[in-house]
Structures are given as C-alpha cells and as structure tokens.
Structure 1
Amino acid sequence: MLTGVQPDRIQRLYGGDLSEVLLLQRGDGQAVVAKGGPSAGTEAQMLRELAAAGVPVPAVEAEYGDVLLIEYVEADEAFTPRAWADIGAQVRALHRHLGDSYGWPVDYSFGSVRLDNKPGEDWPSFWGEQRLVETAGLLDRPWRERVERLAGRIDDLLPKRPPASLLHGDLWAGNMLLMDGRLAAFIDPACYYGHCEVDLAMICLFGRPDAAFWDAYGPLEPGWEQRRPIYQLFPALVHLRLFGASYAPLVERLLATARA
C-alpha cells in the first residue's frame, strides 16, 4: 500500500463532502490523515502559505499524485468564548499577511465548482466576475440574470482596492479544530488573496461567532453590514450548485438583501 498501513487500521473521518478523508493508524502509533482529490498539490501549498503566515494548520507530510498526507490534529470541538477569542486573534493575524494582487497563482475548485483565481488589481471586478458570475454560470437563467445585475453595479457596493489579505477561503466552524480552549488548526483551505471581510462573512453564514471573536479580531471598516450578503452569496451559490435546491432559499434571501 502507498502508506504502508493495513486496511484494518484505516478509518473514514467525519466530513469529506467533496473528497475522501481517511485516518491512518501506523504500526508505531503515529496517526496521519490522507485526503484524496485532484488538487492535493494545491492544497499542500495553501497549507504551507497559511503556516508561513503564522496560523496553526496541520503539517504537510507528503504528496503522492492525488493523495495528500497531513498531520493528524486532535480536537475536542468545544467552541467556548476562550476558543472564539483565540480564533479571532488568529484570523486577524492571517489577514495581516498581505499580497500584491487579488487571486491565487492557480485555479482551485469546490468539487465540480471551479474557482477562477486569475490574479487581478480591481477587487469589485474580481468578486463580481470571478466569484459571482462565474459560479452562477451553470444555474438556471433567472438566477444567472439576477447575479449578473448585481455584478453590473458592484463597483458601487465594494471597495475598489482593499488590502489583499490572505484568506482561508472556506472559513466555517467545521474547518476549525479546537483543543483545550484554543484553536488547534485551520483545515481544508481554499486560499486566495482578497478582502478580509470575505472570511468574516463566511464564518457567519452557517453560525454566529461569540462576541469574544469580534473583540479579539478588532474593528471592522464602515459599511461591512451592507457588504456581508454580497460576500455570503458566493458560498451560497456554491452550495446551491453542489447540494441542490435546499439552498435556494438562502440564495434568494441574500439576493433580496443585496437588492438583486
């Protein structure tokens, strides 16, 4: 076998909606996580970039074609105020790591949903075209037209050139591992450089961070409340494409809030 681990010492981990994730127990007692998928090398580079920014992530052990081996990080999943404060401080540290342009050196994907990461200098154009219009392109015509209308006036809705922060790109509670009241690791990144509010909008899409998170993260720029649904619309469109009509009400609500 590739990893030298016998089948009876392999356990499927919770999650893995878009890729297979296995826990491998080696004979020496060491555990390692194996992830399968066509973008193993890209995810490895993202994890290294996050580590270089000083935030906790699993260490990359090896890449074998479509298989990525990473450190197994123990977690207790206790989202206490103390843990939320640590998450807030770590996300702020992540967002202080800046790039020269928006995007990423290579494209990425959430399952069948391709992410156009071509670097650009104009943030509203990047978000409107490479995130919203691109993602809505395979949806039914009424969805597409509403998204296109929103993108057509996005220059008036988003800042022209906010700092290009390093983003996790899929920052929700399921991609945070906690242990003893601290953040043990961020996992499953979909990194690129962009407006920091993208990560903050995602973390609020399927949950509500404790007040300790916001206290630790620090103040936000004026107008963030109006921008949030525009940033949440992208992951909502991704979920609609990947998982079907159960996410249609979410997309409808966000489009209505953004007046699209």
Structure 2
Amino acid sequence: MARFDDFELLSGLVGAAPVRRTRMAGGDLSLVERVELQDGRSVILKHGPQVQREAAMLRAIAQSGAPAPEVLGVAGDLLVMEALASDGSLGSAWGALGAAVRLLHDVPGDAYGWESDHAFGPVPIENGWSETWPEFWAERRLRVFLAHVPADLGRRIERLCNSLGVRLPERPKASLLHGDLWTGNVLVAGGQVTGLIDPACYFGHSEVDLAMLCLFGSPSPAFYSAYGPLEPGYRERQAVYSLWPALVHLRLFGGGYRPMVERFLSDCGV
C-alpha cells in the first residue's frame, strides 16, 4: 500500500512541517494516518483515488450543521483533515447522533443522486440522477450487482427490482445522506458526536441511512427520540435498503456475506 512520502506537499497544505506519523486502525480501503506537526497541531491524512470527492462530501455534511472534520487541504490523492477527539464508544451519545443525522436529512435535494459517482475501493457507487426513487434504487443500487453475484441471487434481485414500484415511495423527500452510516464512521467523545467521517453522500430517501445504521447493531431509543418520527412502513422497507450494503460486503469481502444477502432477500419475500 502507498505511503505518504510527499511531506513537502503536506507542509504546503497546512503550513507546518510534520514531525511524527502513526498509521490508524481500520483503513481497509485506503491508508489513513495521524500526523503531528511541528507547531503542535495534529491532522489526519487520507490517501486514495476518491479524496477529492470525499472532501466535497465532508464540506456538505458540515454545511448541514452536522459535525464533520474540517477539510484543511486536498491535493491529488491526499486529503488533510482536522483531527477530532474520539473515545470510541457511542454509549450515551445515541441521542446526539440522532440529532446530527436529522440535521443531515433536513437538507433537501432536487432529485436522487449526486454530482459524481463514488466508490468503496474496487466497488463503484453509481450516482447518476434519477427523477423517481424506485428507479434510482433499482438501477443505481441493485441491478449494478447482477453481473457480480451467482445467477440464483441475481434472479431474486431482479424480482425485487421489478417490485420496487409498490414497495418504495415514488418521490420521497430527497435528503442529504451520509451513505455509509455505521457506528465505525461516527466519532464520539464525552457523550457527544464530534464528527461523521468516511461519507459516501448522495440525495435519497432518509431511511437508507437508518437501515445502514442497523446493519450490524441497533440504535438505542435515544437515537429515535432525537431523530424524530419514522415514516409509516419503515420496517417493511428496511430489508430493501439493507440489501445494498450487504451486496457491497459480498463483493468486497467474499462469500461469507452471502447468508446476509439471502436473509434480506428472504425478508423482502423474493
């Protein structure tokens, strides 16, 4: 994996020379380091092909009023961000997360999609604009996997896509989504959310983020109390929205995620 050797570039972006760097945990799809600077500050570096797009997404999150690291500079494949406090546990911060996600989802879009495509490592995320939500979810999130899954799963996905017109609202509010909202992408310190990180933003149905947050766990009641009322039929749509991140995991990490994909397809009745 590449390393951050061009510290001259970093010095130009932040106005101080680096003195120490430490690789951070995680980073399955990109290299992330914490760098201490000569002037006493610390910054976070991220290196990868998507950093220009990620910088724009972080700025969009911050403009919503939700917490996000400040983008200090971006050049080529190097993103420099503010280093935020984090103690690693949501604990008593679920209510703060609910309030933050509500701020995000209150930002409206004119259609479903984003100004550019994105990617999770080798898995492309297609964000072309769509006028109706079932069309976006079928074409940009589910059918794109048909060439990458076994034929039996593909047939079930296709059946689901053909029924989305009656399963999903045609034109729900197009909300600003984080796009990869799981607990590992939420920084917390002192019972407060300090930042939402590693976004894959686009405009879509708010329930997508909520389904992602439930993929590997369950938010506490404090989250929902702060977030506000859910739309009727939320639970019935949850499996439809959970299927996409399950398919991403299947493609990224292999057959160990097939049971998760099958479970969500079965929950959808296909």
TM-score, L = length of structure 1: 0.97
The counterpart of 2:137, out of the listed 127, 133, 137, is: 127
- The residue type paired with residue 164 of structure 1 is A
Give, in angstroms, the shift of residue 23 of structure 1.
0.8
Take 1:38 and 1:61, find their aligned partners in 2: how far apart are those partners? 18
Which among 88, 91, 98 is matched to residue 88 of structure 1? Answer: 98
Whichever residue aligns with residue 64 of structure 1, its letter is: A
Map of 1:28 onto structure 2: 39
TM-fit CA distance, 1:174:
0.2
Task: Give the residue type in structure 2 aligned to 1:127.
Answer: W
Task: Compute the displacement of 1:77 (Å).
Answer: 1.8
Q: Per the alignment, in what secondary structure is the counterpart of residue 208 of structure 1?
A: coil
1:149 Cα deviation from its structure 2 partner: 1.1
Q: Is it true that 1:171 corresponds to 2:181 in the alignment?
A: yes
CA distance in 1, matches of 2:88, 2:154: 38
Measured against aligned partners, the alpha-carbon deviations of 1:114-150 in whole angstroms (never above 9, x if no partner) come to 1110011110010011101113432222222211111
Deviations 1:134-169 (A, max 9, x none): 134322222222111110111010000000000000
* Alignment of structure 1 residues 102-121 onto 2, 5 Å: 102-121=112-131
Q: 1:208 and 1:37 mapped to 2: Cα distance?
A: 31
Shift of 1:80: 2.1
Tell me the residue number matched to 1:38.
Answer: 49
Which residue of 2 is the match for residue 9 of structure 1? Answer: 20
| Aligned residue in 2 for 1:62 | 73
Aligned to 1:229: 239
Q: Which moved more, 1:233-242 or 1:10-19?
A: 10-19
> Separation in 1 of the partners of 2:29 and 2:269?
31
Per-residue deviation, 1:253: 0.4
Matches within 5 A, 1:188-207: 188-207=198-217
For residue 3 of structure 1, report the CA deviation from its aligned partner.
2.1
Q: Distance in 2 between matches of 1:180 and 1:159?
A: 38
Matched, 1:101 2:142: no
Alignment of 1:146-185 (within 5 A): 146-185=156-195
How many residues get paired? 258
- Report the AA paired with residue 83 of structure 2: Y
Which residue of structure 2 aligns with residue 257 of structure 1?
Answer: 267
CA distance in 2 between partners of 1:100 and 1:64 (Å): 30
What's the RMSD between the two structures over aligned residues? 1.1
Q: In 2, are the aligned partners of 1:136 and 1:237 still within 8 Å (CA)?
A: no
Identity %, equivalent residues: 48
SS at structure 1 position matched to 2:250: helix
Runs (4+) off by over 4 Å:
none
SS at match of 1:177: strand
Deviations 1:227-246 (A, max 9, x none): 00000000000000000111
Cα distance in 1 for residues equivalent to 2:146 and 2:181: 21
